[in-house]
């Protein structure tokens, strides 16, 4: 009834590292994958191992390197709200939750149920055969556009840009999704052969079936996800001909019209129209972002011959950056989309230049305070910190959000202006007191500015909140070195490496500490690890040679 994951490292036949973590939550239906999470005092992190059920194998999750110890990937609100019922997200944190529900619930599609429960408890029943029950959302009664918004609120992967005052938990069934967020994705010359996992509604919208059913005067019910899917029933329990019946409700010979052709494939026609429509027109496919997974491509189309290698290369050519939600995104929306995609999904060449072009156009309509966060983010991602320091001097920066304040603080830390770095990191922490990484940066700036005890006053509560935050042990250990407390420093460096043996600075700090306290043999062992791990660093080689003399 319990599940654990053990990470270990061998040197010959000796175990030189071992870490065991209990898996607290399993994510996914298991039809494609099961992913795993651990909970540390409410801070939720992804476990670096996934069960790929179709191939029946364990492997690293997407984005994890096989040689790295990474038990510290935060699960933010946006991830949890799509893979689960609405969680108890702790505002002002990155990945802390007061409670984590156990699976998708009714409210994800039907909206909050308190009014419905209150009315039912009071005996105010509704004869739904006569009228709608207005105490709860019934997606069947919504317009096709708003009905699709419910599905797309999760099944629509891309660079998400939230409207002012909105966030991952803002959408409720019955709302327009475009009032909450924009979503952007690159569009290649032909997006038929490569797509991401969570793109079912977008792929469906590309289909002639979908477009034709939404044409005025088509005489057809507008196609939505519910045309083929009953969300209350597992797809594994569908009858064998479930999807064929959905196709033939429009395409069967007795239902076909001049605009809705019937199937002309000889083997299907000879079988009385009872062939497998899906295998031809919605072929199984891998995805561009998840390994070991095969899904049904929801782009309904006539089969075409396999592509040549030249055609594949041509179709990967970027044509445009498409808005998947909303019909009229602004230049500022597009700029934010490029920045989010570059930072969170993949640093595609040219995207920062495209963001800069849209930001320049946005100057015509957006105020300086509206533009400032994106301008700062652009320079931050470019690694160009001097313009950030210049810009904030001309801003009323009291209106900046926590992430922007953190980027400004980083720009001053790069310039070793520790007073200003502390100022901006502190303001970021004031807005997001539960954000452990912001608190770490504040403590680091205090330590670098020689406010050593003040830094300890930040490090210690971080490790109380999350005693597995490996980098903070290294940071605190270095602060202890500066305070002359070598015993505490050694304990912290060893603790950091026990959690994550790949922390380069912890190896270097421990080797240096041993050398400076006359423990040459111990220093030599860690210097050898450094050279093996980072052979391109000449300083480590020089240090090793010094110790070996």
Relative orientation angle of helices 486-499 and 470-483, to the nearest 10 degrees: 170
pLDDT at 451: 98
What is the token pair recorded at 327? 């019909």
Name beta bridge partners: 22.
4
Rg (CA), the chain: 28
**CA nearest neighbour of 462 among 483, 497, 433, 498:** 433
- Give dist(CA 520, CA 548) in Å, integer: 9
In whole angstroms, give the CA distance from residue 299 to residue 314: 20
Question: In terms of C-beta density within 10 A (0-12 exposed, 13-18 middle, 19 or more buried), how is residue 5 classed?
Answer: middle
The two counts, helices (H) then strands (E), for the chain are: 23, 13
Among candidate residues 146, 158, 164, 205, the one with its CA nearest the CA of residue 183: 158
How many other C-beta atoms lie within 10 A of the C-beta of residue 523?
Answer: 22
Pick from 103, 73, 71, 74: nearest CA to 86: 103
Cα–Cα distance between 78 and 95 in angstroms, integer? 10
Token pair listed for 355: 């963001």
Residue 235 pLDDT = 84
Strand 43-46, strand 57-59: pairing = unpaired
The Cα 540–Cα 535 span in angstroms is: 8
Q: In terms of C-beta density within 10 A (0-12 exposed, 13-18 middle, 19 or more buried), how is residue 234 classed?
A: exposed
H-only helix segments in 106-254: 107-110, 114-121, 144-152, 200-205, 208-213, 242-251
At residue 108, the pLDDT reads: 93
| Tens of each residue's pLDDT in the chain, 549 residues | 899 999 999 989 999 999 999 999 999 888 899 999 999 999 999 999 999 999 999 999 988 875 556 899 999 999 999 999 999 999 999 999 999 999 999 999 999 999 999 989 998 877 656 677 888 999 999 999 999 999 999 999 899 999 999 999 999 999 999 999 999 998 765 556 668 888 899 889 988 899 999 998 888 889 999 999 999 988 888 888 888 888 888 876 554 454 566 666 766 555 555 567 888 888 888 888 899 999 988 989 887 776 666 655 555 555 678 899 977 899 999 999 999 999 999 888 899 999 999 999 999 999 999 999 999 999 999 999 999 999 998 887 788 999 999 999 999 999 999 999 999 999 999 999 999 999 999 999 999 999 999 999 999 999 999 999 999 999 999 999 999 999 999 999 999 999 999 899 999 999 999 999 999 999 999 999 999 999 999 999 999 999 988
User: 168 to each of 97, 162, 467, how far by Cα in Å?
Assistant: 14, 8, 28
> What tokens does 521 get?
């043999």
């Amino acid at each position: 009834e319990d599940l654990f994951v053990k990470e270990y490292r061998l040197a010959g036949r000796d175990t030189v590292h071992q870490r065991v973590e209990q898996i607290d939550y399993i994510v996914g239906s298991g039809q494609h994958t099961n992913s795993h999470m651990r909970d540390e005092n409410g801070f939720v992190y992804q476990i670096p191992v996934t069960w790929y059920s179709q191939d029946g194998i364990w492997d690293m999750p997407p984005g994890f390197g096989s040689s790295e110890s990474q038990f510290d990937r935060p699960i933010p609100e946006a991830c949890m709200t799509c893979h689960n019922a609405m969680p108890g997200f702790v505002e002002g944190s990155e990945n802390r939750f007061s409670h984590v529900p156990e699976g998708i619930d009714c409210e994800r599609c039907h909206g909050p149920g308190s009014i419905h429960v209150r009315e039912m408890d009071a005996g105010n029943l509704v004869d739904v055969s006569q009228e709608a029950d207005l105490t709860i959302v019934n997606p069947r009664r919504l317009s096709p556009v708003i009905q699709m918004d419910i599905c797309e609120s999760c099944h629509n992967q891309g660079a998400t840009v939230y409207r002012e005052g909105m966030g991952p938990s803002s959408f409720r069934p019955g709302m327009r999704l475009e009032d909450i967020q924009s979503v952007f994705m690159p569009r290649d010359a032909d997006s038929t052969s490569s797509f991401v996992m969570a793109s079912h509604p977008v792929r469906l919208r590309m289909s002639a079936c979908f477009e034709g059913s939404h044409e005025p005067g088509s005489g057809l019910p507008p196609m939505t996800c519910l045309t083929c899917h009953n969300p209350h029933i597992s797809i594994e329990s569908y009858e064998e001909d479930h999807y064929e019946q959905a196709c033939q409700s429009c395409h069967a010979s007795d239902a076909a019209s001049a605009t809705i052709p019937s199937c002309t494939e000889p083997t299907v026609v000879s079988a009385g129209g009872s062939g497998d429509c899906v295998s031809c027109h919605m072929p199984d496919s891998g995805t561009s972002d998840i390994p070991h997974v095969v899904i049904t491509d929801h782009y309904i189309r006539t089969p075409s011959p396999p592509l040549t290698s030249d055609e594949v290369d041509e179709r990967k050519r970027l044509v445009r950056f498409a808005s998947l939600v909303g019909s009229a995104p602004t230049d500022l929306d597009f700029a934010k989309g490029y920045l989010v995609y570059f930072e969170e999904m993949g640093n595609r060449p040219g995207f920062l230049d495209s963001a800069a072009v849209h930001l320049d156009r946005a100057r015509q309509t957006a105020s300086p305070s509206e533009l400032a966060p994106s301008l700062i983010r652009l320079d931050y991602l470019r690694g160009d910190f001097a313009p950030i320091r210049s810009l904030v001097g001309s801003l009323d920066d009291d209106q900046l959000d926590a992430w922007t304040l953190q980027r400004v603080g980083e720009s001053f830390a790069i310039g070793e202006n520790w007073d200003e770095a502390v100022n901006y990191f502190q303001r970021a922490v004031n807005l997001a007191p539960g954000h452990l990484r912001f608190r770490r940066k504040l403590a680091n700036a205090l330590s670098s500015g020689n406010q050593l005890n003040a830094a300890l006053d930040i490090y210690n509560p971080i490790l109380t909140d999350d005693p597995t935050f490996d980098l903070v042990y290294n940071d605190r250990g270095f602060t202890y070195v500066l305070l002359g407390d070598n015993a505490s420093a050694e304990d912290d460096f060893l603790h950091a490496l026990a959690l994550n043996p790949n922390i380069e600075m912890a190896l270097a700090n421990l080797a240096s500490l041993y050398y400076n306290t006359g423990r040459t043999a111990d220093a030599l062992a860690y210097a050898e690890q450094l050279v093996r791990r980072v052979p391109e660093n000449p300083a480590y080689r020089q240090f090793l040679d010094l110790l070996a003399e």
